[in-house]
Amino acid sequence: MTATPQDPGPTAQDPGPAPQDPGPAPQDPAAAPRPAPRPARWWTLLGGDRFAAAAAVVLGLVLTAALLGPVLLGDAAERQDLRASLRPPSLDHGVLGLLGTDVLGRSMLARLIDAAGTTLSVALPAVVCSLVIGSAIGMWAGYHGGLRESAAMRVADVILSFPSLLLAVVALYVFTPSVANLVLILAITRIPVYLRTARAEAAELRSRLFVDAARTFGAGSGATIYRHILPITLPTLLTVATVDFSFVMLTESSLSFLGIGIQPPDVSWGLMVAQGRQYLQTAWWIAVLPGVAIVITTVSATIIAAWARLATDPAQRWRLTAPRARRARANRGETPS
């Protein structure tokens, strides 16, 4: 009989069964990468600043009154009632008598709403026209540089050498005072503000690598300015336009107060102040209420401009979302954590 050979067992050369793959090691949840936070919406940023939120509400009410007031009130701003002449502000004469009446018995509330539309119909088109024209010329001059930049800047210097209010006074004495002439003159006098700002931004951006890359790939000057320079320059220009809106509105009110701006039967806040100055001793509300409307609107626009400067700057945007204690430490010069 032959003996059955026994299994010699594992030897030093035989490694035995292969170890099982334990699989991927468990990850620490704390060490996992966190998704990048989404940028705050503009209404969230606006809610982080109570003064800016209040200013936005005021400007919204003024704009709404200017658009819907004439439709809802009809001819209430022009309706005369000599028996109700110089009534003081009171709740005894209905909604239209809430802010009193003028010397002809016309409702001050209705006239303030009607004047808001006239004032905004001058200030907004003037700012938009000067913004579009000045920004386009400024970015074109700053991008190309050389002779074109020098020519554009010299034209801006010539316009700025004349005070805008004085230039408007002279021009309106030569031409007939009207809304169209006011818009044209105020837009021309404010073009250099946007031209110089846009030129400075474009001159600094034209040497950036992404602009050089666009030129390398054959993009024309117009496409490069529109796609690469305008998006970066636009927040600064809009901030300047918000501040300039206050200046243009004050200029229009000054011209109307001098009698060379808005002419009757149209009405603006500046014209209402001029018409009520002779009644300051007996009917103060005729001149004071339009002046208060001018002050509140211009201050609100200035506050919105300050908020827009922070909201459009990524390095300063945290001030609108951080807690108040953190902002207070930053304002004192401490490094925000």
Report the candidate in 65, 62, 131 with the shortest Cα–Cα distance to residue 301: 62
Q: DSSP letter at 9?
A: -
45-92 pLDDT, tens per residue? 777 778 989 999 999 999 999 999 888 888 888 889 889 889 999 888
Q: Rounded distance, CA 286 to CA 276, Å?
A: 5
Q: Rounded distance, CA 241 to CA 206, Å?
A: 23
Q: What are phi and psi of 37, to 5 degrees?
A: -65, 140
Query: Is it the case that residue 326 has pLDDT exceeding 70?
Result: no
At the fourth CATH level, the homologous superfamily of domain 58-321 is MetI-like (1.10.3720.10)
Distances from the Cα of 20 to the Cαs of 12, 13, 17, in angstroms? 20, 20, 9
Q: Rounded distance, CA 87 to CA 85, Å?
A: 6
Query: Is it the case that residue 34 has pLDDT exceeding 90?
Result: no
* Whole-prediction pTM: 0.79
Please tell me the chain's helix, strand, coil percentages from 3-state DSSP, rounded to the nearest 5. 65, 0, 35
The pLDDT of residue 65: 92
- 244 vs 2: which has the higher pLDDT: 244
129-157 pLDDT, tens per residue? 999 999 999 999 999 989 999 999 999 99
The pLDDT of residue 16: 53
Query: Is it the case that residue 14 has pLDDT exceeding 90?
Result: no
236-291 pLDDT, tens per residue? 999 899 999 999 999 999 999 988 889 888 899 999 999 999 898 889 999 999 99
Would you list the domain boundaries of the chain?
Answer: 58-321
Is residue 37 reached through a cis peptide bond, with omega within 30 degrees of 0 on the bond before it?
A: no
